[in-house]
């Protein structure tokens, strides 16, 4: 199948997208209508291995949300490699099918549109599907947080959607900020010493909390925070050596981000329960 | 020559039974049929087939012939495309003997024409080859009826195809490029070219001077259509009416040609609709009203003759009285 697309109009779209990817990723190894993995029942129009950390797949389609995306989403998630997926559709279809476009974006796919003269526009990017957090899930997770933290977490989410390790670092910093505030309030109440509430020493702060008798009833929240910080603090800095490690790293990013929000919620509640009612 | 005729001929020339084998073949070993006139595959129909294949597999084997180590499709390009997209390792296929070029083409037409409406360009692209091969085998060119019988196409479809076939190569290429674009980006359709050609034939028949610059005229009309000066494909029917009006209506030939010159001039911002209004629209209305007037007169004479005045509807009588007054004013009586 020469085109790699289903319909006959997809050659033009595929060629335009290939030129775009060549320009953006500086001529990466590119395959047309080739197998991604023997277990995946889908040969995308284009696939390119940007590096060991990222495989980009693109499907040329006359509509913004090709049906193969719905059929194969779960299968793609099973593959041990980080995969970003784009739809390449005509500009006219993008303008006419806004409902499909919204859905495509919400499901974590990227979209390139091609004008009649072949000009390609990146409408929105795709992050590897394995690390994608749907908007609806995110909104549900932040319900109940105070506005100031909500804003910080939303900013971290925005960053996550462009660069997930950086987004995770950001949410971890938000969490560390919450811990520090609780510790400073505890210092005011003389539950902790001033040296236990210093910025950049979260592990020491949590250790001091766990030893203070006033925090005896929130050992679980403190333990959870200790585990979270030690596990995810440096997620962004571990450089994966191969696509399997990269896949794990991106999957961890997703878990780190979602768990980060949960930990912030749990920690705030626990601190309030022990009497720290300040601006945590 | 229908499928049955081909099969009979094969029986006559080859006493052995036709070898047909059912095999599972890797999709990458299959090539599209070089004679398949079908060039256009629409996303919707392809996705719906792919969904079915994903769910139930390929229920009907495709048909191929083997040639120099590869398999060529006789029937089933859509199934093959879907199976390739779905990364299936094998597809069930019936392997037939390699047909002659004419048999192959005729098979393609008959297989596809039975199932769904092909695009005209798809049909036209190979129709000329069928005509040429037929001439080679029979020493004469097939007429419309023979072509219809051979391909399974209606005579109307063949006539439309021939309009496309008559286009210079440059315009055929333009149309093919357009058809290869996604549907939402296609501006010039087969209908556009068919309607344009029909109307130009009608005009050139009455004003042969235009024949010399017909390609230039085509370019101007395409450009005006792309720039919305000609807003719909159906406008070309009005262009035909301007042409035929030169024969059938009482219009000034010089003035009409003058307006047509402006339509065929890239520098004049004149579309077909304005030209139609300026030249023959009134005359066509006049012609239509003349017929109404004749019918009305005949009806009224009939009523008088049969003495059925009392049966006339009151509203009709009112309208006739109104018409009588209007006509008196118009005719000054």
Determine the residue among A3, A8, A14, A47 to mutate to test chain B binding: the one whose Cβ has the most chain B Cβ atoms within 10 Å.
A8
Q: Which residue of B has its CA nearest to A63?
A: B43
Q: Cα distance from B178 to chain A (closest Cα, Å)? A: 9
In CATH terms, the fold of domain B3-116 is 3.90.1530
| Average per-residue pLDDT for chain B | 87
- Cβ within 8 Å, pair A42-B87: yes
Write out the residues of chain B at the interface with chain A, using a CB-CB cutoff of 8 A. Answer: 27, 39-43, 46-47, 50-51, 54, 80-82, 84-88, 179-187
CATH of A10-129, one of 3.40.50, 3.40.1350, 3.30.1540, 3.40.720: 3.40.1350
Judging by beta carbons within 10 Å of its beta carbon (0-12, 13-18, 19+), is residue A142 exposed, middle or buried?
middle
Query: What is the sign, positive or negative, of the torsion defined by CA atoms of A239, A240, A246, A249?
Result: negative
Q: Is the pLDDT of residue B95 over 60?
A: yes
Q: Is the pLDDT of residue A109 over 90?
A: yes
Residue partners of B20: CB distance under 8 A and separation at least 6: B94, B95, B96
Q: Is the pLDDT of residue A94 over 60?
A: yes
Closest C-alpha among B100, B105, B101 to residue B150 = B105
Q: Which residues of chain A make contact with B41, given a CB cutoff of 8 A?
A: 6-8
Closest to B181 (Cβ–Cβ): which among A1, A9, A68? A9
Q: Cα distance from A31 to chain B (closest Cα, Å)? A: 14
| Average per-residue pLDDT for chain A | 87
**Could you tell me what percent of chain A has a pLDDT over 70?**
95
Angle at A140 between CA A138 and CA A142, to 5 degrees: 70
Three-state DSSP at B293 gives: helix
Least confident of A33-37, B47-51, B212-216, B247-251: B247-251
Q: In this predicted structure, what is the pLDDT of residue B205? A: 93
| pLDDT tens digits, one per residue of A27-84 | 889 999 999 999 999 999 999 988 777 889 999 999 999 999 999 998 998 887 888 9
How large is the average pLDDT for residues B257-280?
Answer: 94
Q: Which residues of chain A make contact with B34, given a CB cutoff of 8 A?
A: none
How large is the average pLDDT for residues B139-167?
Answer: 87
Q: In this predicted structure, what is the pLDDT of residue B69? A: 87
- Cβ within 8 Å, pair B87-A66: no
> C-alpha distances in angstroms, B124 versus A11, B65, B147, B222, B245?
22, 24, 12, 20, 31
Q: Is the pLDDT of residue B211 over 90?
A: yes
How large is the average pLDDT for residues A238-255?
Answer: 79
The ranges assigned to domains in chain B are: 3-116, 189-279, 292-331
Best-predicted range by mean pLDDT (A77-86, A225-234, B155-164, B286-295): B286-295
How large is the average pLDDT for residues A83-94?
Answer: 94
Q: In this predicted structure, what is the pLDDT of residue B1? A: 45
Q: Is the pLDDT of residue B251 over 80?
A: yes
Token pair 């987004």: residue: A167
Q: Which residues of chain B make contact with A33, given a CB cutoff of 8 A?
A: 84-85
Q: Which residue of A has its CA nearest to B33?
A: A1
- Cβ within 8 Å, pair B182-A62: yes
* Confidence label for B4 from pLDDT (cuts 50, 70 and 90): very low
Task: Give the number of other CB atoms < 10 A from CB of residue B104.
Answer: 20
| pLDDT tens digits, one per residue of A183-216 | 999 999 899 999 988 888 888 999 999 999 988 8
Could you tell me the pTM of the whole model?
Answer: 0.66
| ipTM of the shown complex | 0.73
C-alpha to C-alpha distance for A104 and A126, rounded to whole angstroms: 10
Q: Please answer whether residues A112 and A122 qualify as being in contact, where contact means their C-beta atoms are separated by less than 8 angstroms.
A: yes
How large is the average pLDDT for residues B29-41?
Answer: 76
Closest to A35 (Cβ–Cβ): which among B43, B87, B186? B87
Q: Which residue of B has its CA nearest to A32?
A: B85
* Confidence label for B3 from pLDDT (cuts 50, 70 and 90): very low
* Confidence label for A243 from pLDDT (cuts 50, 70 and 90): confident
How large is the average pLDDT for residues B123-150?
Answer: 87
Q: In this predicted structure, what is the pLDDT of residue A4? A: 57
How large is the average pLDDT for residues B277-292?
Answer: 93
Token pair 């398999």: residue: B71
The ranges assigned to domains in chain A are: 10-129, 135-273
- Cβ within 8 Å, pair A12-B40: no
* Confidence label for B15 from pLDDT (cuts 50, 70 and 90): very low
Tokens coding A233: 């603090």
C-alpha to C-alpha distance for A103 and A163, rounded to whole angstroms: 21
Least confident of A199-203, B41-45, B270-274, B313-317: B41-45
């Amino acid at each position: 199948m020469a085109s790699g697309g289903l319909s006959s109009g997809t050659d033009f779209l595929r060629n335009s997208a290939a030129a775009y990817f060549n320009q953006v990723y500086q001529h990466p190894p590119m395959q047309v209508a080739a197998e991604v993995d023997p277990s995946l029942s889908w040969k995308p129009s284009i696939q390119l291995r940007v590096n060991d950390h990222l495989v980009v797949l693109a499907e040329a389609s006359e509509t913004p949300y090709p049906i193969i995306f719905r059929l194969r989403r779960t299968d793609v998630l099973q593959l041990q490699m980080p995969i970003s997926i784009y739809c390449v559709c005509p500009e006219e279809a993008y303008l006419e099918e806004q409902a499909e476009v919204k859905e495509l974006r919400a499901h974590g796919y990227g979209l390139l549109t091609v004008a009649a003269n072949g000009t390609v526009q990146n409408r929105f990017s795709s992050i590897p599907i394995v690390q994608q957090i749907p908007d609806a899930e995110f909104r549900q997770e932040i319900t109940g947080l105070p506005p100031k933290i909500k804003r910080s977490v939303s900013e971290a989410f925005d960053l996550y959607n462009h660069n997930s390790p950086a987004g995770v670092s950001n949410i971890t910093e938000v969490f560390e900020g919450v811990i520090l505030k609780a510790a400073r309030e505890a210092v005011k109440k003389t539950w902790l010493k001033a040296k236990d509430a210093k910025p950049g020493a979260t592990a020491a702060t949590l250790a001091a909390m766990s030893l203070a008798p006033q925090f005896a009833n929130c050992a679980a929240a403190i333990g959870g925070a200790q585990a979270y910080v030690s596990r995810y603090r440096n997620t962004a800095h571990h450089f994966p050596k191969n696509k399997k490690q990269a896949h794990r790293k991106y999957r961890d990013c997703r878990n780190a981000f979602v768990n980060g929000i949960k930990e912030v919620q749990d920690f705030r509640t626990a601190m309030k329960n022990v009497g720290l009612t300040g601006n945590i | 020559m229908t499928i049955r005729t081909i099969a009979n001929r094969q029986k006559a020339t080859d006493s052995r039974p036709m070898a047909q084998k059912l095999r599972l073949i890797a999709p990458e070993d299959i090539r599209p049929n070089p004679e398949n006139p079908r060039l256009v595959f629409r996303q919707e129909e392809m996705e719906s087939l792919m969904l079915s294949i994903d769910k139930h597999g390929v229920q009907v084997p495709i048909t191929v012939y083997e040639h120099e180590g590869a398999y060529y499709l006789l029937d089933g390009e859509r199934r093959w495309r879907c199976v390739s997209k779905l990364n299936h390792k094998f597809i069930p296929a019936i392997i037939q003997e390699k047909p002659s070029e004419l048999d192959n083409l005729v098979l393609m037409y008959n297989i596809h024409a039975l199932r769904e409406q092909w695009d005209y360009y798809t049909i036209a692209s190979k129709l000329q080859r069928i005509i040429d091969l037929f001439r080679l085998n029979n020493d004469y060119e097939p007429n419309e009826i023979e072509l219809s019988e051979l391909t399974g196409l209606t005579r109307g479809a063949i006539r439309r195809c021939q309009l496309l076939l008559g286009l210079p190569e440059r315009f055929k290429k333009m149309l093919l490029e357009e058809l290869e674009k996604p549907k939402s980006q296609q501006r010039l359709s087969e209908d556009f070219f068919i309607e344009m050609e029909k109307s130009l034939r009608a005009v050139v028949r009455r004003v042969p001077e235009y024949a010399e610059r017909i390609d230039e005229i085509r370019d101007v009309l395409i450009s005006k259509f792309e720039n919305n000066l000609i807003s719909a494909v159906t406008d070309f029917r009005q262009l035909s009416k301007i042409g035929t009006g030169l024969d059938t209506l009482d219009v000034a030939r010089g003035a009409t040609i003058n307006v047509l010159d402006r339509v065929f001039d890239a520098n004049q911002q004149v579309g077909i609709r304005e030209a139609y209004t300026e030249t023959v629209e009134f005359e066509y209305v006049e012609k239509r009203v003349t017929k109404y007037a004749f019918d009305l007169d005949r009806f009224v004479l009939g009523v008088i003759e049969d003495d059925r005045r009392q049966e006339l509807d009151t509203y009709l009588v009112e309208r006739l009285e109104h018409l009588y007054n209007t006509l008196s004013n118009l005719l000054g009586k």
